[in-house]
Amino acid sequence: MNQLATLVSILLGLALLAAVAFGGYYLFLQTYDLFRGLDYALTAILLVALIGTLMIAGAIRYAGRMLGVNQLRLEKKAELYARLMAASVRLLESDSDNEGQTGAELEAVALELACWGGSSVLKQFSALQSLDPQSPAMKTALESLLRAMRRDLGQSNLGLNQGDLLKLLYWGENRGTMRHD
């Protein structure tokens, strides 16, 4: 019984394929006859308009697809950058007892950063990794990293002064005071 059903479905599929092929051939002949009866200039204009319409439709479809992909990529980067900044700030504020745990968290984020991060963010993070967490240059490098992240996410850093972003990171119980070394 299964073999008979398979044979019938194959035959019906071939019949459908033949009908589509015949219909396509018939449509081609009718279109050819239509264009043959027209002036050559009008035929050329119609073909250019048809090709242009198909190209525009393809471009719109491609742009729509890329917009969805870029939106997902942007959301993933924003979440990853937020985790990276939180771990970096914890590393700066941590004492030597918790430094290992925060360092492990940064390593886990760094693996994802290698896949999702922008090139300027990767360069700034690499520079940040080579610094001692207690050095004064660490805060400057952290702000440079944050600026690179904002640029990668499409935000402008225009009008931000040096230290403005760090003040936001160290906003705490002291209402805006930054920890000074």
Q: Is there a domain that residue 95 lies in?
A: yes
Distance from C-alpha of 67 to C-alpha of 88, rounded to nearest angstrom? 31
Q: Answer yes or no: do 39 and 90 share one domain.
A: no
Q: Answer yes or no: do 52 and 85 share one domain.
A: no
Please state the domain count of the chain. Answer: 2
Q: Answer yes or no: do 27 and 79 share one domain.
A: no
- Global pTM reads 0.55
Q: Is there a domain that residue 12 lies in?
A: yes
What's the pLDDT tens digit per position in 41-51?
887 888 899 89
Q: What is the DSSP letter of 98?
A: T
Q: Answer yes or no: do 83 and 127 share one domain.
A: yes
Look at residues 63, 85, 101 and tell me which one is the last residue of a structural domain: 63
Q: Answer yes or no: do 94 and 150 share one domain.
A: yes
Q: Is there a domain that residue 146 lies in?
A: yes
69: left (phi > 0), else alpha (psi -120 to 50), else beta? alpha
| Helix locations, the chain, DSSP H | 2-36, 40-93, 99-116, 119-129, 137-152, 164-169
Beta-carbon contacts of 53 under 8 Å, excluding residues fewer than 6 positions away, are none
CA-only gyration radius of the chain, Å:
31
Q: Answer yes or no: do 79 and 165 share one domain.
A: yes
Q: Is the pLDDT at 179 greater than 50, yes or no?
A: no
Angle at alpha carbon of residue 11, lines to 5 and 17, rounded to 5°: 135
Q: Answer yes or no: do 58 and 108 share one domain.
A: no
Q: Answer yes or no: do 47 and 111 share one domain.
A: no
Residue range(s) defining the domain that contains residue 127: 75-169
Q: Is there a domain that residue 180 lies in?
A: no
Q: Is there a domain that residue 174 lies in?
A: no
Q: Answer yes or no: do 94 and 164 share one domain.
A: yes
Q: Would you say 165 and 143 are in contact if contact means Cβ atoms under 8 Å apart? A: yes
Q: Answer yes or no: do 79 and 46 share one domain.
A: no
What's the pLDDT tens digit per position in 91-125?
777 655 556 666 777 788 888 888 888 889 999 88
pLDDT reported for residue 137: 85
Weakest-pLDDT range from 138-142, 154-158, 171-175: 171-175
Query: What is the residue-averaged pLDDT of the chain?
Result: 82
Q: Is there a domain that residue 181 lies in?
A: no
Look at residues 30, 63, 96 and tell me which one is the last residue of a structural domain: 63
Q: Is there a domain that residue 70 lies in?
A: no
Q: Would you say 90 and 105 are in contact if contact means Cβ atoms under 8 Å apart? A: yes
Q: Answer yes or no: do 12 and 90 share one domain.
A: no
Q: Is the pLDDT at 177 greater than 70, yes or no?
A: no
Q: Is there a domain that residue 178 lies in?
A: no
